[in-house]
A and B are shown apart, each in its own frame.
Chain A
Amino acid sequence: MVLAMHAPDGFLNPGTAVVTAVISMVVVGFSLRQARAQLSERAIPLAGIAAAFVFAAQMFNFPVASGTTGHLLGGALVAILLGPSVGTVVVTIVVVVQALVFADGGLTALGYNVLNMAVVTSYGGYAVFRLLRKVFPSTTGGVVGATGLAAWASVVMAAVAFSIEWLFGATAPIPFDQVFTAMVGVHSLIGIGEALVSAIAVGAVLAARPDLVFGARDLDRAQLEESRLPRTRTFVIGGVLVALLFATVVSQFAVDNPDGLEAVAVDKGFIDSGSDSAMAGSIFADYATEGISNETVSLAVAGIVGTIVTLAVAGGIFLALRERRGRSPAPV
Chain B
Amino acid sequence: MSRALELSRVEFAYPDGRVALRGVDLVVDRGERVAILGPNGAGKTTLALHLNGIFRATGGRISVAGMELTDTNLREIRGMVGLVFQDPNDQLFMPSVREDVAFGPANMGLSGEELDNCVSAALELVDGTEFADRPPHHLSGGEKRRAALATVLAMEPEIVVFDEPSSGLDPAGRRDLISTLHTLRMTQLVITHDVSLALELCPRSVIMNEGQVVADGKTSELLADATLLAENRLELPFGLSIG
List the interface of chain A (C-beta within 8 A of B): 45, 331-332
Contact = CB atoms under 8 A, between A and B. Distances in A.
B12 to A, nearest CB: 9
Contacts, number: 8
A18 to B, nearest CB: 33
Q: Chain A's interface: helix, strand, loop or mixed, by majority?
A: loop
B93 A332 contact: no
A45 B90 CA distance: 10
B55 A331 contact: yes
Interface in B42-68: 54-56
A45 B56 contact: no
B171 interface: no
Contacts of B15: 331
A224 to B, nearest CB: 13
8 contacts: A45-B93, A331-B14, A331-B15, A331-B54, A331-B55, A331-B56, A332-B54, A332-B56
Contacts of B55: 331
Nearest to B56: A331
Interface string B81-125: 000000000000100000000000000000000000000000000
A45 B54 CA distance: 16
Given A45-B93, A331-B54, A332-B54, 5 more contacts: A331-B14, A331-B15, A331-B55, A331-B56, A332-B56
B89 to A, nearest CB: 11
B219 to A, nearest CB: 32
Contacts of A45: 93
Contacts of A332: 54, 56
A41 to B, nearest CB: 12
Nearest to A332: B54
Contacts of A331: 14-15, 54-56
Nearest to B14: A331
A331 B15 CA distance: 8
Contacts of B56: 331-332
Interface string B1-42: 000000000000011000000000000000000000000000
**What 5 A-B pairs are tightest by C-beta distance, nearest first?**
A331-B55, A331-B15, A331-B56, A45-B93, A331-B14
Contacts of B93: 45
Nearest to B74: A332
Contacts of B54: 331-332
Nearest to B12: A331
A236 B22 CA distance: 49
A45 to B, nearest CB: 7
A64 B2 CA distance: 68
A139 B54 CA distance: 34
A255 to B, nearest CB: 52
B88 to A, nearest CB: 16
A184 to B, nearest CB: 41
A244 to B, nearest CB: 43
Contacts of B14: 331
A225 B54 CA distance: 31
A63 B24 CA distance: 54
B10 to A, nearest CB: 14
B167 to A, nearest CB: 22
B234 to A, nearest CB: 29
Nearest to B54: A332
Interface string B155-167: 0000000000000
Nearest to A48: B93
Nearest to B93: A45
A8 B96 CA distance: 32
A331 B50 CA distance: 11
Nearest to A44: B93
